[in-house]
């Protein structure tokens, strides 16, 4: 029974020795550098980039042998990302200049820029990509060649000015990043270089004027971030202007002022915003002696987070400080004139309106629908407007008198936010500028006036070149359109577009239906002078008077009850007056004849034959001269 005990002790000893060996190997492996455990990190970053901007991120302390994976996708508007990794020792501005110079040199040598771009990018960057992800997404994976700091550049795809929000997914030794879907860890990999990217930095220079007619101007600031500081410098450049500036919030509450009492020809202002906000307004006005307004032109320099603005000198950049009014191109195509109501002084027309403008909030990525534009109805467009928190340049036809019956109405939205609004309509339009003094040889002016419902600080209407025209077959037989033009002006601080066309009457109708019969009647009145029977002359003259009265009623039905005399009125009144004179003269002749003084009547009558003929001609020429 003694034999098993030594065996048991030997087995226990062997077990202890094996366990000690395993623990020793594990501890050794943990301290040997060649077997270091790989780190795994994932970071998600979001930012907004405007057209023309470059964003730079610092990626410090990357280790050789680590695999860096980056996935970039645009999340709003039409942003098409381009990403590039480069050495951390390079200055971003120098890199940008070098890249642009090489591309421009290649283009100058006649090379295709889209062939040159990949070659230049590969020679400058450690890694880069444009569209290797889903759709227009950018993605690359690169094994870090050596220890050190690196930088990441994010921009719009070369050759395109896209913009919008984007998301960066950055991973170290995390291959799932390449799918565009990975959960972030608590580790930081990249940091946005706000100085190099000029994030939150804006400088804008403007000029303007203060006049008695426009004593104040209002500039709306772009949305501002908490902690941003606004700097304003303004100086008079002409006149006796003493500029006053006031910074107001969205409720027009004054926050800061500069040169409040108008004592200096220049002013400055500085204000740090405690919270994020929008619709802040800078008011510019002139002051003021004894309640008057000083007038003149000014130069305004505004900056965000750029204190050098207060000295009046600062380099401008692509990011504006103020919201700029949207330029809306407008055109009108007159297709038909269905009626001209001269009594009511209006006309009915069939016309088309086209408006074109750009709203960045409505830009979209082509790969989201595999399309370059979307066609929407007005209700669909209004829904899109509401969803994106924006507005559109709604308008009113100022001289519209009746409902506007819309035949077709479509809105086309392009990927860059450009919008084309097209409407074909029928309506009745007021024509208060009618002037009938030369009727029926008159030339009338007709207008279609389009008024923006928003002030000029939001929208400015401009002529859409090449669109406005008059159709070849307007369908109006009485009028001949001789000329048209367009003009843009302002009405009560709202922009107004006017389509004006001139028209003359087809004179054949009036010659054949009115003037020819009048001339025949006049001829009959004159030819009666060759009759010796004065009684017959009186009968014919009286008939002519009745005929002229009928003509007068015929003409009056076509015209409003005017407060002035027309050419046609003068012709009828003159002819009527002469006809009355002829009847009166014939009655006088008859009385002379009855009194036995027929010889005197005959002598006067012989003179009257040619006097009245000359009088008719002179009167006609005089009327033409007076009413021309």
Which CATH number does the domain housing residue 546 bear? 1.20.58.390
The b/e string for 540-562 (b: 16+ C-beta within 10 A; e otherwise) is bbeebeebbeebeeebeeebeee
Q: How crowded is residue 210: how many other Cβ atoms within 10 Å of its Cβ?
A: 25
pLDDT at 614 over 90: no
The C-alpha R_g of the chain, in whole angstroms, comes to 43
- One domain for residues 500 and 459: yes
pLDDT at 257 over 50: yes
Highest mean pLDDT among 109-118, 189-198, 472-481, 569-578: 189-198
- One domain for residues 134 and 232: no
- One domain for residues 128 and 253: no
Taking a C-beta distance cutoff of 8 angstroms, is the pair 42, 151 a contact?
A: no
Question: How far does CA 71 lie from the centroid of its chain?
Answer: 36
Question: Of 454, 486, 505, which closes a domain?
Answer: 505
Taking a C-beta distance cutoff of 8 angstroms, is the pair 381, 411 a contact?
A: yes
pLDDT the model gives residue 42? 95
pLDDT the model gives residue 617? 81
pLDDT the model gives residue 565? 83
pLDDT the model gives residue 290? 59
Tokens of 270: 């500085």
Give the rounded percent of residues in the chain with a pLDDT score beyond 70. 92
Q: Is the peptide bond before 440 cis (omega within 30 degrees of 0)?
A: yes
Choice between 38 and 193, residue whose per-residue pLDDT is larger: 193
Give the integer Cα–Cα distance in Å for 369 and 386. Answer: 20
Choice between 106 and 600, residue whose per-residue pLDDT is larger: 600
Taking a C-beta distance cutoff of 8 angstroms, is the pair 537, 605 a contact?
A: no
Tell me the pLDDT of the chain averaged across its residues.
Answer: 86
- One domain for residues 480 and 569: no
User: Considering only 328-332, 352-356, 545-549, which range has the smallest mean pLDDT?
Assistant: 545-549
Taking a C-beta distance cutoff of 8 angstroms, is the pair 222, 201 a contact?
A: no
Q: Is residue 32 part of a domain?
A: no
Whichever domain contains 106, its CATH number is 2.60.120.380
Give the integer Cα–Cα distance in Å for 609 and 14. Answer: 159
pLDDT at 1 over 50: no
pLDDT at 350 over 60: yes
pLDDT the model gives residue 311? 93
For the stretch 135-160, pLDDT in tens is 899 999 999 999 999 999 999 998 88
Q: Is residue 500 part of a domain?
A: yes
Give the integer Cα–Cα distance in Å for 304 and 201. Answer: 5
pLDDT at 34 over 50: no
Q: Is residue 23 part of a domain?
A: no
The SS3 assignment for 530 reads: helix
Q: Is residue 85 part of a domain?
A: yes
DSSP designation for 146: S
Tokens of 624: 């033409």
Confidence (pTM): 0.75
- One domain for residues 231 and 371: no
Tokens of 451: 């008024």
Tokens of 386: 């509401």
Question: 352: which strand partners?
Answer: 333, 424
- Give the dihedral of Cα atoms 323, 77, 58, 44; nearest 10 deg: 130
Residue 245 φ/ψ, nearest 5 degrees = -125, 140
Tokens of 76: 């709003």
pLDDT the model gives residue 159? 80
Average the pLDDT over 249-274 and give the result: 92
Give the integer Cα–Cα distance in Å for 34 and 67. Answer: 17
Give the integer Cα–Cα distance in Å for 387 and 361. Answer: 10
Choice between 8 and 90, residue whose per-residue pLDDT is larger: 90
Continuous segment of H or E residues that includes residue 483: strand 479-491
Question: Of 197, 224, 244, which closes a domain?
Answer: 197
pLDDT at 270 over 70: yes
Average the pLDDT over 441-449 and give the result: 92
Q: Which domain holds residue 565?
A: 508-626
């Amino acid at each position: 029974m003694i034999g098993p005990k030594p065996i048991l002790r030997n087995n226990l000893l062997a077990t202890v020795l094996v366990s000690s060996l395993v623990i020793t190997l594990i501890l050794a492996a943990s301290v040997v550098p060649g077997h270091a455990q790989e780190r795994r990190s994932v970071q998600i970053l979001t930012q907004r980039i405007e057209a023309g901007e470059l964003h730079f991120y610092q990626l410090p302390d990357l280790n050789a042998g680590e695999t860096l994976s980056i996935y970039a996708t645009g999340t709003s508007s039409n942003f098409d990302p381009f990403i590039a990794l480069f050495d951390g020792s390079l200055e971003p501005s120098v890199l940008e200049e070098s890249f642009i110079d090489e591309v421009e040199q290649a283009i100058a040598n006649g090379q295709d820029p889209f062939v040159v771009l990949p070659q230049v990018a590969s020679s400058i960057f450690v890694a880069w990509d444009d569209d290797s992800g889903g759709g227009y997404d950018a993605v690359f994976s690169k094994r870090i060649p050596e220890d050190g700091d690196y930088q990441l550049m994010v921009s719009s795809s070369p050759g395109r000015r896209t913009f919008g929000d984007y998301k960066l997914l950055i991973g170290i030794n995390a291959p799932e990043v390449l799918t565009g879907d990975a959960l972030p860890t608590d580790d930081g990999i990249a940091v946005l270089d706000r100085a190099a990217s000029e994030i939150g930095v804006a400088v804008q220079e403007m000029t303007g004027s203060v006049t008695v007619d426009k004593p104040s101007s209002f500039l709306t600031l772009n949305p501002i971030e908490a902690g941003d500081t606004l700097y304003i410098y303004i100086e008079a450049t002409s006149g006796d202007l003493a500029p006053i500036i006031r910074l107001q919030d969205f409720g027009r509450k004054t926050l800061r002022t500069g040169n409040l009492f108008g004592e200096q020809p220049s002013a400055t202002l500085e204000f740090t915003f405690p919270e994020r906000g929008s619709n802040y307004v800078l008011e510019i006005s002139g002051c003021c002696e004894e309640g008057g307004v000083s007038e003149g032109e000014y130069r305004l320099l505004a900056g965000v987070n750029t204190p050098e603005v207060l000295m009046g000198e600062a380099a401008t950049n692509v990011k504006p400080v103020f919201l700029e009014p949207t330029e809306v191109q407008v055109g009108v195509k007159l297709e038909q004139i269905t009626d001209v109501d001269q009594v009511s002084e209006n006309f009915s027309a069939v016309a088309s309106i086209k408006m074109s403008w750009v709203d960045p909030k409505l830009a979209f990525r082509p790969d989201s629908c595999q399309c370059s534009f979307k066609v929407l109805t007005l209700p669909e467009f209004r829904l899109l407007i509401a969803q994106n928190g924006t507005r559109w340049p709604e308008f009113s036809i100022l001289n519209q008198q009746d409902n506007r019956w819309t035949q077709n109405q479509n809105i086309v939205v392009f990927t860059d936010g450009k919008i084309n609004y097209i409407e074909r309509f029928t309506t009745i339009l007021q024509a208060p500028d009618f002037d009938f003094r030369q009727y029926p040889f008159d030339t009338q002016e007709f207008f279609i006036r389009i008024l923006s419902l928003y002030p000029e600080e939001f929208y400015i209407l401009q002529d859409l070149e090449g669109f406005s025209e008059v159709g070849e077959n307007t369908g109006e037989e009485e009028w001949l359109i001789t000329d048209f033009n367009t003009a843009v002006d302002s009405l009560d601080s709202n922009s107004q577009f006017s389509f004006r066309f001139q028209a003359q009457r087809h004179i054949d109708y009036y010659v054949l239906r009115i003037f020819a019969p009048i001339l025949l009647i006049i001829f009959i009145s004159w030819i009666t002078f060759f009759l010796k029977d004065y009684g017959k002359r009186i009968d014919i003259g009286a008939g002519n008077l009745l005929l002229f009265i009928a003509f007068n009623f015929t003409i009056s039905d076509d015209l409003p009850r005017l407060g002035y005399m027309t050419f046609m009125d003068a012709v009828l009144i003159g002819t009527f007056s002469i006809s009355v004179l002829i009847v009166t003269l014939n009655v006088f002749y008859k009385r002379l004849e009855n009194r036995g003084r027929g010889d005197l009547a005959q002598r006067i009558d012989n003179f009257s034959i040619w006097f009245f003929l000359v009088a008719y001609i002179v009167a006609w020429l005089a009327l033409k001269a007076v009413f021309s």
